[in-house]
Chains A and B, each alone.
Chain A
């Protein structure tokens, strides 16, 4: 079955660090354009970061310098290392695959993992 499963969310204090992961099955992460998209409680969708099949990475201005996207080809997983977390980083974090020969048409999503930044 083709699917994405996120893990690693939780409650973290402001200024802290957290790593969320996304396990893929049914396709290879290294051959895909993979993104992280987040959704704050009661709010809309916000793109966070992408890693291209070639390894290039890009970030939204709101997380640049604080978040790092990576993948583990042997484990077929995608990760997002989040440092210097702030209250406005509180959100459900989704990993998403781009399909249809597009960089940003997200044809597959995980179920999401909740990250809460609060003291």
Chain B
């Protein structure tokens, strides 16, 4: 059981918008700790696509956006492309565990 809860899978057609939720608690997201999002393509290392709740690193398309509210966060992907098909992980810090925690991951399928 992951500390941060994500849906196991989401899907969408090319060009559509999908969102991935990340639900935490008062000891992590709800405590104000930043949320990061990572994209992991099959067989590769994770790649940071959002840091500090809503900031995109250089080179990440603006089709990716994220937000945090209360004890949850979400990642939105607009204009889905085949290359977006990957696993997505949210991550924050948990004061009870005294370390960073990840969501269980969401597999995005582009139909």
* Pairwise interchain contact A105-B45, C-beta atoms closer than 8 A: no
Size class of B's contact patch?
A: 20 to 34
* Pairwise interchain contact B34-A105, C-beta atoms closer than 8 A: yes
* Pairwise interchain contact A105-B36, C-beta atoms closer than 8 A: yes
Give bound CA distance, A96 to B48, whole Å: 11
* Pairwise interchain contact A45-B105, C-beta atoms closer than 8 A: yes
* Pairwise interchain contact B89-A104, C-beta atoms closer than 8 A: no
* Pairwise interchain contact B46-A109, C-beta atoms closer than 8 A: yes
B51 interfacial contact with A, CB 8 Å: yes
Q: Within residues 1 to 57 of chain B, which ones have a CB less than 8 A from any CB in chain A?
A: 2, 34, 36, 38, 44-48, 51-52, 55, 57
Known: A44-B103, A104-B93. A110 touches B36 (CB 8 A): no
Size class of A's contact patch?
A: 20 to 34
* Pairwise interchain contact A45-B102, C-beta atoms closer than 8 A: yes
Give bound CA distance, A55 to B57, whole Å: 27
B100 nearest in chain A by CB position: A104
Give bound CA distance, A96 to B103, whole Å: 17
Residues of A within 8 A of B99 (CB): 47, 50, 58, 60
* Pairwise interchain contact A102-B34, C-beta atoms closer than 8 A: yes
* Pairwise interchain contact A111-B45, C-beta atoms closer than 8 A: yes
* Pairwise interchain contact B102-A46, C-beta atoms closer than 8 A: yes
Q: How far is the CB of B89 from chain A (nearest CB, A)?
A: 6
22 A-B pairs, CB-CB below 8 angstroms? A37-B46, A44-B102, A44-B104, A45-B91, A45-B102, A45-B105, A60-B97, A60-B99, A94-B46, A102-B51, A103-B93, A103-B100, A104-B36, A104-B93, A105-B36, A105-B52, A106-B38, A106-B46, A106-B48, A107-B51, A107-B57, A111-B44
Closest 5 CB pairs of A and B: A109-B45, A104-B100, A105-B51, A45-B102, A44-B105
